[in-house]
């Protein structure tokens, strides 16, 4: 991205901007300090979308693909790493899952590219329409949020001109949704006609995703219905499309059809919550993950009901998994709080805007209230760190810094009591 050939002007962009763009692409975030369509050449855009593809399906998945093409054997250690990278339940069949990930990803991206190309062929020559179709299909499926609409409507114009377009809404939302449910769930959905059953993980992800999409749509619709800068000028159908699109994209899509900065503060804060929850494990999305959120809700419900175990779909969840969910959530909150405080020191914006930007970077969501393009050099560094940590995952970082094995205590301490609440 730093090479002169990657810039539309033929001159190198600053190293910090190049690093920010490369990090955003690799972490499939979508936050940009320069407009993708107007500030980068075709070469720069191709490099960007290649980084998105590698970052979306995962480095280990790509490395395994290369090993399989070269007919190399996948070692036990590599299978264990793949199991963790894909959030697979066991090591058994993990290489088969990698093959499915690659096959299903390519199939969905090809179909998406064809559909988007057909739509854009009405506005531009077939060659450019095909280029747009391929770029946006990869970007949307990988929940990256990079777009080239600046080449048509002007820098940072986004998808606002397609807010009333049912075809574009359905295709883009479909790509974001399929990329955000995770490859394990995607495999279950595609193979459901033959297997006739879903795993517990898939049931939790699909049911919780549907619930959040519906609730998100209703809340955004209600809060923005009379906002003259967002939904009010739209037709009743347009209001529904816009509300639904924002509900889906907030959980990691990275594109928007209405001006995020013009939303009501209540709506913006609600979107922060959705961004923090994020997509499913093993997906191209970020956040604490929807299964973590479900476990937290389940733990609260169990405590209120006086139950000892968290039960989901008549299955008892192990306590160590619940502890892991609590740990992940707390570490994520700490990261967002720390970097929001750091951004508050370097950026002269209201705190809600800073919190929104921090959560978007951590959740690798990519939607912005406009702060990203105005970031100071140090502010860009904070967001780069937050995007990287958000994509890597705070729990992964904690494991990397801690001991490799959990030591079993040879004794137990006497039970103590403290007052809570």
Domain boundaries, the chain: 4-401
Does the pLDDT at position 94 exceed 70? no
Least confident segment among 46-50, 130-134, 178-182, 268-272: 178-182
- Per-residue confidence (pLDDT) for residue 394, from 0 to 100: 67
Q: Which of 63-77, 82-96, 201-215 has the highest mean pLDDT?
A: 201-215
- 339: tokens are 């970097």
Query: To the nearest whole number, what is the mean pLDDT of the chain?
Result: 87
Quickly state the pLDDT bin for 242 (edges 50, 70, 90). Answer: very high
Does the pLDDT at position 59 exceed 90? no
> Taking a C-beta distance cutoff of 8 angstroms, is the pair 81, 60 a contact?
yes
Higher pLDDT, 410 or 242: 242
| Residue with the two structure tokens 């699909």 | 206
Higher pLDDT, 152 or 235: 235
Q: Name, in order, each residue with C-beta under 8 angstroms of 288's C-beta and a sequence gap of 6 or more.
A: 276, 277, 278, 328, 329, 332
Mean pLDDT of all residues in 303-319: 91
Mean pLDDT of all residues in 130-147: 93
- Nearest Cα residue to 217 out of 238, 177, 175, 246: 246
- Per-residue confidence (pLDDT) for residue 96, from 0 to 100: 74
| Torsion 110-111-117-118 (CA) sign | positive
- Per-residue confidence (pLDDT) for residue 229, from 0 to 100: 92
- Per-residue confidence (pLDDT) for residue 253, from 0 to 100: 85
Residue 74 CA: distances (Å) to CA of 77, 254, 410: 8, 34, 37
Q: Name, in order, each residue with C-beta under 8 angstroms of 75's C-beta and a sequence gap of 6 or more.
A: none
| Cα dihedral 366→275→259→114 (10° resolution) | 60
3-state secondary structure of 101: helix
- Per-residue confidence (pLDDT) for residue 244, from 0 to 100: 95
Quickly state the pLDDT bin for 192 (edges 50, 70, 90). Answer: confident
Q: What span, in angstroms and rounded, lies between the C-alpha atoms of 284 and 30?
A: 12
254-299 confidence digits (pLDDT tens)? 888 999 999 999 999 999 999 999 998 878 788 899 999 999 999 9
Higher pLDDT, 62 or 143: 143
Strands 310-312, 315-317: parallel, antiparallel or unpaired by DSSP? antiparallel
DSSP bridge pairs for 40: 7
Mean pLDDT of all residues in 35-53: 93
DSSP bridge pairs for 312: 315
161-189 confidence digits (pLDDT tens)? 889 999 999 999 999 999 889 888 888 88
What proportion of the chain, given as a percentage, has pLDDT over 70? 87
Higher pLDDT, 91 or 379: 379
Quickly state the pLDDT bin for 67 (edges 50, 70, 90). Answer: low
- Per-residue confidence (pLDDT) for residue 153, from 0 to 100: 80
- Per-residue confidence (pLDDT) for residue 398, from 0 to 100: 59
Does the pLDDT at position 89 exceed 60? no
Count, residues in the chain: 421
């Amino acid at each position: 991205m730093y090479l002169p050939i990657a810039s539309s002007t033929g001159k190198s962009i600053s190293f910090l901007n190049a690093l920010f763009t490369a990090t955003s692409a690799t972490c499939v975030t979508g936050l940009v300090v320069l407009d993708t369509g107007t500030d980068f050449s075709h070469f720069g855009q191709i490099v960007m979308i290649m980084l998105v593809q590698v970052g979306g399906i995962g480095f280990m998945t790509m490395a395994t693909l290369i090993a399989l093409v070269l007919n190399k054997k996948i070692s036990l250690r590599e299978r264990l790493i793949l199991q963790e990278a894909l959030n697979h339940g066991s090591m058994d069949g993990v290489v088969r899952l990698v093959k499915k990930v690659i096959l299903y990803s390519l199939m969905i991206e090809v179909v998406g590219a064809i559909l988007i190309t057909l739509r854009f062929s009405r506005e531009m020559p077939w060659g450019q329409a095909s280029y747009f179709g391929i770029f946006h299909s990869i970007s949307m499926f990988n929940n990256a949020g990079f777009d080239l609409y600046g080449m048509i409507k002007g820098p940072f114009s986004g998808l606002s001109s397609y807010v009333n377009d049912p075809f574009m809404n359905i295709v883009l939302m479909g790509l974001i949704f399929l990329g955000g449910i995770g490859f394990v769930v995607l495999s279950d959905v595609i193979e459901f006609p033959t297997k006739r059953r879903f795993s517990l993980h898939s049931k939790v992800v699909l049911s919780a995703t549907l619930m959040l999409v519906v609730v998100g749509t209703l809340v955004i619709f209600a809060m923005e219905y009379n906002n003259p800068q967002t939904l009010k000028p739209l037709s009743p159908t347009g209001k529904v499309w816009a509300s639904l699109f924002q509900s889906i994209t907030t959980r990691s899509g990275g594109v928007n059809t209405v001006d995020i900065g013009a939303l009501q503060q209540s709506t913006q804060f609600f979107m922060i919550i959705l961004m923090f929850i994020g997509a499913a494990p093993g997906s191209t999305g970020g956040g604490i993950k929807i299964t973590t959120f479900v476990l937290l809700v389940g733990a609260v419900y169990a405590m209120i009901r006086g139950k000892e175990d968290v039960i989901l779909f008549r299955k008892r969840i192990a306590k160590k998994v619940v502890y892991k969910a609590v740990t992940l959530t707390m570490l994520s909150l700490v990261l967002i709080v720390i970097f929001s405080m750091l951004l508050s020191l370097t950026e002269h914006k209201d705190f809600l805007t800073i919190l929104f930007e921090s959560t978007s970077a951590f959740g690798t969501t990519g939607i912005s209230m406009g702060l990203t393009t105005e970031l100071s050099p140090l502010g860009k560094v904070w967001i780069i760190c937050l995007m990287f940590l958000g994509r890597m995952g705070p729990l992964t970082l904690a494991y990397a810094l801690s001991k490799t094995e959990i030591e079993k205590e040879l004794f137990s301490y006497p039970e103590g009591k403290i007052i809570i609440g």
